[in-house]
Amino acid sequence: MKVLEGLYYSKDHEWVKVEGDKAYVGITDYAQHSLGNIVYIELPEVGAELSAGDVLGVVESVKAASDVYIPVNGKVIDVNTSIIDDPSLVNNDPYENWMILVELKDKSQLDNLMTAEKYKKFLDEE
């Protein structure tokens, strides 16, 4: 399973890529692999204020619908509409095809997430 260095990871298999005060959020390779063929994605409205643990969107595979949670507080400043048009992009490259861009409200929350190294270990135990 692909795990990129330099990202933050949650136990629910979301990744966070920080750029200054903003962060891209998506699902990991492990998550897309567990889901199988992704056929539908629902994302929040731009402007939505989300708190860590809130549902940021829904990813549906052929078999089932799964919630995606945001691991940090943030205000949605952009959503990736190209994955709504073609959800299979997330299967092809889950790190390139982010879901939302947020303005980070509390950067200290990143300390609660895993580094790539820790996430790899976490996956080994899954």
* Binders of other proteins in range 60-79 (CB under 8 A): 60-65
Number of residues that bind other proteins (CB under 8 A): 12
Q: Check residue 54 for interaction with other proteins (CB under 8 A).
A: no
Q: Check residue 36 for interaction with other proteins (CB under 8 A).
A: yes
Query: In this complex, which beta carbon is closest to other proteins, that of residue 61 or of residue 109?
Result: 61
Beta-carbon contacts of residue 123 (< 8 Å; ≥ 6 apart): 1, 3, 30
Nearest-angstrom CA–CA distance, 84 and 77: 17
**What's at 20, amino acid-wise?**
G
Residue among 21, 37, 46, 86 that touches other proteins (CB under 8 A): 37
Query: In this complex, which beta carbon is closest to other proteins, that of residue 37 or of residue 51?
Result: 37
Sign of the dihedral defined by the CA atoms of residues 118, 54, 75, 93, in that order: positive
Are 68 and 50 a contacting pair, CB within 8 Å?
A: no
User: In the complex, which residues of this chain contact other proteins (CB under 8 A)?
Assistant: 36-37, 39-40, 42, 58, 60-65
